[in-house]
A and B are shown apart, each in its own frame.
Chain A
């Protein structure tokens, strides 16, 4: 039994892979496309297909089971294949399109923000776009300014787009299934530092997250709902994707100093679960929002405004945002470490509120 449990301690990438596999098995309208999602395209006769299975191995093995028709390697043509995803979704298919790094949105922004986001509204509700876009985010891997961004705030800006950011294997599988089943366009942001981790190696402690085991059956994690990752009464820390791990670390440190800390794992960037955030703040009377995205016009700013506008009377201190600075992502290691939100910065901010 213990062994069975260990076997289900999937990595984030394996959990996503399972979600894709199961949704493809259960619905033949679901297909995946993107750059090197298999790799070695056209070389099946040389035994060279599925060379990569995606740069983060999210789609590894799928081409073997579903073939190149449903696991479709693309040329490096983001505008082309993102737009093709919109067109296919509009006409009866349920595409999952991989945008390798969120920074590459620049190449295909038109298709995402002018077509995917707006077509249903512009057409008076007479079109449905069950499109899923998956992309990667995050600094910390020496990939510099164009391959390290965390851009969910930008997409949350656009009405019509749903944006989710899983924090561990459990939420990754559940949110992928919800996203693919959703009839709206959904963008899933996968943090680069999470994809190789199991929940265990993501350091989920007892009573935190959803536990270390990823259920084998299909399940949904509801879009638009934040998760109370650990309960507490003295202060609220809000994490998004990888920063949920940072919040947990900070919470442990603060608890060792005698404080009871609530951690909210946001999960959905848009729509935003205002209720969970406000209820928590009304209880704890203080909030630190931890976000790796750029600070201006961001989700962190949005949450800060929400709390200031809706829960001002409950607050003992102003909301604090711990974010990346208003700079591009630097290459040099010491600068990149300085760039990232850290446990130390979160603890310091929290103590500033608590003391």
Chain B
């Protein structure tokens, strides 16, 4: 943890963002139980992965996500009012209510979209990196994907392209140990994702995805390498999905309660909380205040969504093409 000093302000920001994600996801679950939110894939447990990486990102950088992307969006600064409105199908949503949980996008914020097809965003991220390079910027493109996506050939096509063209893309495998209900040790030959980088002549590292500090620190070289025009890196972040694959699904049909407890004991928010207190970055009161503020913001997001209207009928036909109105 002493490899790179992280300033206190950034540490506090990590905590705030992770707490916001957690509370947002819990609220989503409540909204789903009320029948207002029509299904989602919860990111609870995985907050540290995007928060750590996005700590390096600046304006003009891109991220791309998966079917489970609320944490990516919030980490990149997407407005939670608009996210909640989207999840409730309202016209004020990030996607005007037309995409929902699996397709949240905010192009202005550099969030080029969640995606419902496993692995589908990986080449798109590679293309965004190609564009950043061709336009002469030092911007980078970060693509998050699950361990399940390592089964898709397009990952390896993209890694090869990015490597031969030295593209500023960071491939972040969020290994939460399950592709839906299939354990990664069954589905991934050799049981390791980061090793696969070797075949594509790029660095591959394995990181504790439950530690936001390690996520941030260990991704520093990858971001620098990309910004300097020296090509891609593969990061395997070891993490854990606390809930089922989708809302309402019971994960104990394929894993044990003991396993769940084991990973929950290493909870990423608990860890940063303890660190902030132990290192005297702040006091308990400060943390409680951050939590209260985050809770109020999440509450406000529901109010914003509730107060918004559903799209008008004509929205069904809009945006199929630019010129179809």
Interface of A is mostly: loop
Q: Annotate B83-121 by CB proximity to A: 1 below 8 A, 0 otherwise.
A: 000100111000101111111000000000001111110
Q: Annotate A50-61 by CB proximity to B: 1 below 8 A, 0 otherwise.
A: 011001000000
**A36 contact from B102, B117, B180, Cβ within 8 A:** B180
Report whether B316 and A339 are in contact in the complex, using a CB–CB cutoff of 8 Å. Answer: yes
Report whether A334 and B311 are in contact in the complex, using a CB–CB cutoff of 8 Å. Answer: yes
Interface of B is mostly: loop
Question: Do A146 and B116 form a contact, CB below 8 Å, given A77-B151, A338-B316?
Answer: yes
Determine the chain A residues whose CB is within 8 A of the CB of B153 once the complex forms.
77, 79-80
Kindly state whether residue B320 has any CB partner on chain A within 8 Å: yes
What's the Cα separation between A311 and B313 when bound, in Å?
36
Report whether A52 and B180 are in contact in the complex, using a CB–CB cutoff of 8 Å. Answer: yes
Report whether A43 and B254 are in contact in the complex, using a CB–CB cutoff of 8 Å. Answer: yes
Determine the chain A residues whose CB is within 8 A of the CB of B181 once the complex forms.
36, 39-40, 51-52
Report whether B39 and A103 are in contact in the complex, using a CB–CB cutoff of 8 Å. Answer: no
Which residue, B148, B182, B188, has most C-beta atoms of chain A within 10 A?
B182
Report whether B103 and A75 are in contact in the complex, using a CB–CB cutoff of 8 Å. Answer: no
Kindly state whether residue B164 has any CB partner on chain A within 8 Å: no
Determine the chain B residues whose CB is within 8 A of the CB of A326 once the complex forms.
320
**B116 contact from A41, A52, A144, Cβ within 8 A:** A144
Report whether B151 and A75 are in contact in the complex, using a CB–CB cutoff of 8 Å. Answer: yes
Determine the chain B residues whose CB is within 8 A of the CB of A333 once the complex forms.
38, 89, 310
Enumerate A304-355 residues with CB–CB distance to B below 8 Å. 325-328, 330-335, 338-339
Q: Annotate A163-176 by CB proximity to B: 1 below 8 A, 0 otherwise.
A: 00000000000000
Inter-chain CB contacts under 8 Å: number: 152
> Interface size class for chain A?
35 or more
Determine the chain A residues whose CB is within 8 A of the CB of B254 once the complex forms.
39-40, 43, 48, 51-52
Determine the chain B residues whose CB is within 8 A of the CB of A78 once the complex forms.
152
Enumerate A15-47 residues with CB–CB distance to B below 8 Å. 35-36, 39-43, 46
Determine the chain A residues whose CB is within 8 A of the CB of B182 once the complex forms.
35-36, 39-41, 73, 75
What's the Cα separation between A327 and B99 when bound, in Å?
13
Which residue, A41, A42, A145, A330, has most C-beta atoms of chain B within 10 A?
A330
Kindly state whether residue A106 has any CB partner on chain B within 8 Å: yes
Kindly state whether residue B79 has any CB partner on chain A within 8 Å: no
**A331 contact from B98, B150, B180, Cβ within 8 A:** B98
Enumerate B282-314 residues with CB–CB distance to A below 8 Å. 310-311, 313
Kindly state whether residue B161 has any CB partner on chain A within 8 Å: no
Report whether B117 and A46 are in contact in the complex, using a CB–CB cutoff of 8 Å. Answer: no
What's the Cα separation between A138 and B97 when bound, in Å?
19
Which residue, B120, B253, B310, has most C-beta atoms of chain A within 10 A?
B253
Report whether B89 and A76 are in contact in the complex, using a CB–CB cutoff of 8 Å. Answer: no
Question: Do A331 and B151 form a contact, CB below 8 Å, given A43-B183, A146-B117?
Answer: no
Q: Annotate B161-203 by CB proximity to A: 1 below 8 A, 0 otherwise.
A: 0000000000000000001111101111000000000000000
What's the Cα separation between A330 and B93 when bound, in Å?
13
**B99 contact from A40, A325, A331, A334, Cβ within 8 A:** A331
Report whether B310 and A73 are in contact in the complex, using a CB–CB cutoff of 8 Å. Answer: no
Beyond A41-B187, A107-B117, A107-B119, 7 extra complex contacts between A and B, CB < 8 Å:
A40-B255, A52-B181, A76-B118, A76-B179, A143-B116, A331-B98, A331-B103
User: Would you list 14 pairs from A and B whose C-beta atoms are within 8 A, ordered by A residue?
Assistant: A40-B183, A46-B256, A107-B117, A107-B152, A107-B154, A143-B102, A144-B102, A146-B103, A147-B102, A331-B86, A331-B99, A335-B98, A335-B310, A335-B316
